[in-house]
Structure 1
């Protein structure tokens, strides 16, 4: 049974260009997330999982676009294949399907997924080292505060007065998460 060819594209931020990932592929539908791959809690990935049907083929540019850690990668591929959906990683040239459930494919998925996870860990380690070095040189100041000290005092006063936190977050132009971090001061 031949289904649709569906693309899944992920970039980590809105500034990144996702166009290059599957530009040469003929796709019936594309799901694009602009979010971190640290976990599988991504809106378009969830929609893709709900959308695909038996016989469909999901194309992904590379393994690290689908998942950043081996456990998530293996779970996602297994769940697609269990639904009768094939998954192809273009960059790695690997296809996973019910027809080709070979031990070699599973080994390659594990090994290449482990390398992707290892690479991500190295990147984060280098980033931490760079930040520490910049701090020692006095160059790194951290992220700029979203609110001034006066705004923080005002925010706390208004929360104490019972003003809705969502309303305050919009008014101050910050996320609710940022609002809650300022309430801990």
Structure 2
């Protein structure tokens, strides 16, 4: 399992962590509030720089607590609305028969050309660099090429 550094992992009591907005601390309201609480318990201060409601936990009080709670709640609501809008846009594309998701890095012709070059002995890393993609992207695109070739009717 991957482990990522969380805000405050390397901070010591008395340190201050500056964040642009409070919503950058967690994926939802509970996680954000837990991070703020954990930092406060450890004596690490938090200050937001871009939120409309200023948060600075070095000045504790009911105003700071309320600002943290409100900003965390508004951030979670905004995330919910963004996800709903994205799901609606995706469903509308599917209903119209349009592709969804990120477009492929390479088109079918470029994939076929890359596969041919590698078959003739070209180094995959060099082919990837010339196409402006990573080696792993090239391999993923070559897999698509093989799947497309296998799906074509013979004859």
Shorter-chain TM-score above 0.5: yes
Unpaired runs of at least 5, structure 2: 145-155
Unpaired runs of at least 5, structure 1: 1-39
More strand by percentage: 1
Q: Alpha carbons of 1:115 and 1:161: their partners in 2 closer, same or farther (altered >3 Å)?
A: farther
Equivalent-residue separation in structure 2 for 1:65 and 1:56 (angstroms): 18
Superposition TM-score, scaled by structure 2 size: 0.57
Number of residues paired by the alignment? 137
129, 133, 154: which is aligned to 1:174? 133
Please name the residue that 2:75 is paired with: 116
Please name the residue that 2:17 is paired with: 58
Query: How far did residue 177 of structure 1 move?
Result: 5.1
101, 110, 114: which is aligned to 1:151? 110
Query: How far did residue 123 of structure 1 move?
Result: 0.9
Superposition TM-score, scaled by structure 1 size: 0.50
Query: How far did residue 87 of structure 1 move?
Result: 0.3
* Higher Rg: 2
Cα RMSD of the aligned pairs, angstroms, is 4.1
Q: Alpha carbons of 1:110 and 1:178: their partners in 2 closer, same or farther (altered >3 Å)?
A: farther
Is the 1:86–1:95 Cα contact (8 Å) retained in structure 2? yes
